Amino acid sequence: MAQKIKEQLHVGVGISSGAYLLGAILSNTDKAFTVFPDSEDRYYSTRLFSKDVNSEVVDKIELLSLEVL
């Protein structure tokens, strides 16, 4: 999910931020709120940015916008 956030919203976030957003999306509510607690900086040396990380669930999600409060 962190990859998709970076590709579609141009925001560099880490693994837990991606997990938080995925949880908010899957909560099935009309409006969801989440916080991105980490950035991508500490994950450059991990598999986070390799192409084989995404799952079928994440591949089906299209991120349309980001609102900062």
Q: Which residue has the higher pLDDT, 37 or 47?
A: 37
C-alpha radius of gyration, the chain, whole number: 12
Residue 2 pLDDT greater than 80, yes or no: yes
Average pLDDT estimate for 29-47:
79
CA–CA dist 54, 39 (Å, integer):
18
Q: Which residue has the higher pLDDT, 50 or 12?
A: 12
Written as one letter, the residue type at 27 is: S
Q: Is the pTM of this model over 0.95?
A: no
